[in-house]
Structure 1
Amino acid sequence: MPQTAMPFLVLTRAGFDDIARRVDLGKTSLFLNPGLLTEDEIARLRESGAALHVMATAVDPGNAREVQQALLLTRGETGSAWVEHAAPRAQVSTAKMQPASAPVTSTTPLSRRLARTAGQLASGALRRLRAPERGRALMAVPYLGFGNGRRIWLKGRLLDEIGFREQTVADSGWANLVALYQRLESDEVADARVVASLGGTSAETRTDDGGYFSFDLELGSELAPGRHRVELCFPDNIQADGQPLRAHAEAIVPAATARFGIISDIDDTVLWTNVTNKLNMALMLARTNHHTRKPFKGVAGFYRALRDGAGGSEDNPMFYVSSSPWHLYGPLVDFLALQEIPLGPLLLRELSVRQVLKLNQHGNHKLEQIERILGFYPDLRFVLIGDSGEQDPEIYAEVVRRHPRAVRMIYIRNVNPDPARIDALDRLIEEVSATGIQLVLCPDSVFAAAHAAAEGLIAVDRLPSVRMDKRDDDSAAPAMTGL
């Protein structure tokens, strides 16, 4: 019998009737397909104490991909859930509840199987370096971290040194493709010791199989707002000069004047990547670089206005959460700087070459990283920004369910005109609005900025600059629209 603390994903009426016979529904957390129960039944369940959520989009119990995506948003703090295990479509049987780890029958298209096989071969061909010999040139790649007065989180990677040539606006598509390949093919250094030091506090860890390391430093003294330098040492990796490899990372502590934080998606929200079409996204990355890619119209002006806030000098912190791989961290930071979009910590994904085109468990990654950010700033409310192309609205609605006091506003760039998607978004808007939080669908940045000004998030006198920024983008890239 499952533990009642674990959530249930219920997809059919037969599955609901089965679980109703087995457990006390008043002590459960239920995620239900829309239309599964009547409004009276839902009301009675909630009165009995059940934590009941009706999903915005119906999940086909015979579609393994849809079931997997739904599970990403239903798993509890233990990372587990009970899911209804449907019979194959050709059979008729009573649905039963199975652990989420149980295998789900799937008919994978041939193209996807071929891509998976090719990815596995490519991944297997990459060399993972262990105990590199003395004098080998290594490269530490620290990422911008963040924290509060007493705690800092940061991440980085240790690689065999590769000469990443600086890309320029004149680079050809072939040069961009080679640069992308070099980043994805980079040779990581696993099982290397890393020591981080800040303000008298030190901690040690080891790189994982991907060469990644991370620290969650509990500090002995209060940190002031601003940027802080974290010293990194790799004591076992002796360089040609006889000294251990050293580097430094930076971590940001938000200003005391900050009234709220901003958490933004990148893919198809700030930067056009066509992330819903993995092949087109890969081709775009291969053909362009940070000099030739353009942001969506008006994004830079809108984000600067949010950073400055209604008071003009609030210095509200920016965070970017994306399903892009960490391999693209450098180009993304360069892109933000070049387009004058406020810089903030980027929380990207650890991806192997095999996963670059799959980008599976997209929602789970974003939800985990948003939870990480919220955990550092319990007294700060956040504006969440994304697009309707994939799961951003569902992920942000789940953030509201878990942390209703942590969310100030949600802006979603509307990119999917499909009526079924619009209906699903309408249900999410209704659900979120019941908590007193607004989920706003926006055609572009000017619309979002006007709404933000009316809500006191940005200064009204910043609206002309957002409009001007959008007009400048129009003249530079007339085919692009969006938030």
Structure 2
Amino acid sequence: MSFKKISLSLLYFLKSNISKGLLWIGLKSKLIDKIMIVPYKGFGNETEIYFVGRVLKDRGIENSNPEDSTWKNFKKMYKRFMSWEIPGVKIKAIFQHLEQTVTTDEEGYFSIHLKSSEPFLLDGPWQEVKLELQDYLVKNQKEVLAVNKVFIPFKNVEYGIISDIDDTIVPTGATRLFTMLKTTFLGNAHTRLPFPGVAGFYRALAKGNDGIESNPFFYVSSSPWNLYDFLMEFLEVHEIPKGPLMLRDLGLSREQFIAGSHWEHKLRQVEKIFEIERHLPFILIGDSGQHDPEIYLQVVKDFPGRVKMIYIRDIKSSGHAKLAAIEKELKDFGVPMLLIKSSHEAAAHAAAQGWIPEAAISSIQQAAEAY
């Protein structure tokens, strides 16, 4: 066995036992006095739904305000990352005629994947799934319930959109560690601003050319699940279409020091969306900073004929020869890729293809020019 594997096994053993000890202390000392189910929005088709969630100590993190201080922002972010996860408890999911009971893993995560032999009864695109905690953990515990929302394509859907977040929607400096940590821990959903024109462009894509807001958005990022509520609030504050948000766990695992690489995580999540939303064509949006073009190329190879367009925000001054090679290879598969500096460029192209109306371009251009 290599030194790396021995070190990983030792660290994982220590981490697991420390976590178990802290959980026991937290429950016995009543430091953990309130439990919550945190469901993450999911997606599905006419006969199946999928989503993940987590069971944690409720730390009472509220939405932010524009006037919140840097210290207040830091305290909220500290609470998000210093989570107290609850492993080994059962969660029951109930949706229409289906039920599924699952057990949380060592980090408190659970996943629900319900399949039906008959089509679901749908009255709209967003469906509600009831969740119930089956275990009694703290003294005087009341029912621990949650409701999750799952998107199922309903009517007038022209295409789906899958978008990265970091340096695609919002400048984060993901390629520069200090800048990324500073913007993550000291800002909030109001002070973090998206690239100009992004909100307008994404709203136009959601409505499509028929003007009906029915085209679904899916967000895939390598940010940790700890940031889920922060990112969902960010989308709402800046009027960017909401949708399922696929993040990742950054904790130590049995196999890796960090649970999954950026490439592996993003490719796996994007392809999960393609597998479940099997009747939808997609527009993919990313940036040139963290391998999005390479990941999207692999998606095109694995799902031929399913990708309409790839937009890549150009945030790097180098590496264009590699991007040109990827663009050429994509062209061989019949998929165009456009390197853009602003959302206006992408909007003008989408309008020319008939995917969004021409009338949407002017406001997007004004926002981009104001940057």
State whether TM-score is above 0.5: yes
Amino acid at match of 1:158: V
Please state how far the C-alpha of 1:125 moved relative to its aligned partner: 6.4
2:335 aligned to 431, 437, 456, which one?
437
Please state how far the C-alpha of 1:256 moved relative to its aligned partner: 2.0
Please state how far the C-alpha of 1:243 moved relative to its aligned partner: 4.2
Matched residue, 1:286? 185
Check if 1:180 corresponds to 2:82.
Answer: no
1:322 aligned to 216, 221, 224, which one?
221
Deviates more, 1:308-317 or 1:448-457: 308-317
Matched residue, 1:455? 353
> Structure 1 residues 142 and 305, CA, compared in 2 at 3 Å: closer, same or farther?
same
Task: Answer whether contact 2:37 2:53 (CA < 8 A) is retained.
Answer: yes
Amino acid at match of 1:409: M
Please state how far the C-alpha of 1:173 moved relative to its aligned partner: 2.0
Amino acid at match of 1:184: F
Distance in 1 (CA, whole Å) between partners of 2:195 and 2:227 is 19
Matched residue, 2:34? 137
3-state SS of 1:441 partner: strand
3-state SS of 2:56 partner: strand
Task: Answer whether contact 1:263 1:383 (CA < 8 A) is retained.
Answer: yes
Alignment of 1:34-433 (within 5 A): 129=23, 132=27, 136-219=33-116, 220-224=118-122, 225-237=124-136, 243-313=142-212, 315-352=214-251, 361-418=261-318, 421-433=319-331
Q: What stretches of structure 2 of length at least 5 have no aligned partner?
A: 5-10
Please state how far the C-alpha of 1:360 moved relative to its aligned partner: 6.1
> Structure 1 residues 327 and 353, CA, compared in 2 at 3 Å: closer, same or farther?
farther
Task: Answer whether contact 1:300 1:469 (CA < 8 A) is retained.
Answer: no
> Structure 1 residues 195 and 360, CA, compared in 2 at 3 Å: closer, same or farther?
closer
Distance in 2 (CA, whole Å) between partners of 1:451 and 1:182 is 42
> Structure 1 residues 407 and 458, CA, compared in 2 at 3 Å: closer, same or farther?
same
Matched residue, 2:7? none
Report percent identity of matched pairs: 38
Matched residue, 1:42? none
* Count of residues paired in the alignment: 358
Alignment RMSD, CA only?
Answer: 2.9
3-state SS of 2:190 partner: coil
Question: In the TM superposition, what whole-angstrom CA distance separates every residue of 1:416-457 from its partner, at most 9, and x where no partner exists?
Answer: 111xx1000000000000111101101110001001111121
Task: Answer whether contact 2:34 2:141 (CA < 8 A) is retained.
Answer: no
Q: What stretches of structure 1 of length at least 5 have no aligned partner?
A: 1-101, 106-117, 479-483
> Structure 1 residues 358 and 207, CA, compared in 2 at 3 Å: closer, same or farther?
closer
3-state SS of 1:231 partner: strand
Task: Answer whether contact 1:194 1:207 (CA < 8 A) is retained.
Answer: yes
TM-score between both structures, scaled by the size of structure 1: 0.69
Distance in 2 (CA, whole Å) between partners of 1:180 and 1:126 is 21
3-state SS of 2:136 partner: strand
| Higher-Rg member (1/2) | 1
Task: Answer whether contact 1:150 1:223 (CA < 8 A) is retained.
Answer: no
TM-score between both structures, scaled by the size of structure 2: 0.89
Distance in 1 (CA, whole Å) between partners of 2:351 and 2:51 is 33
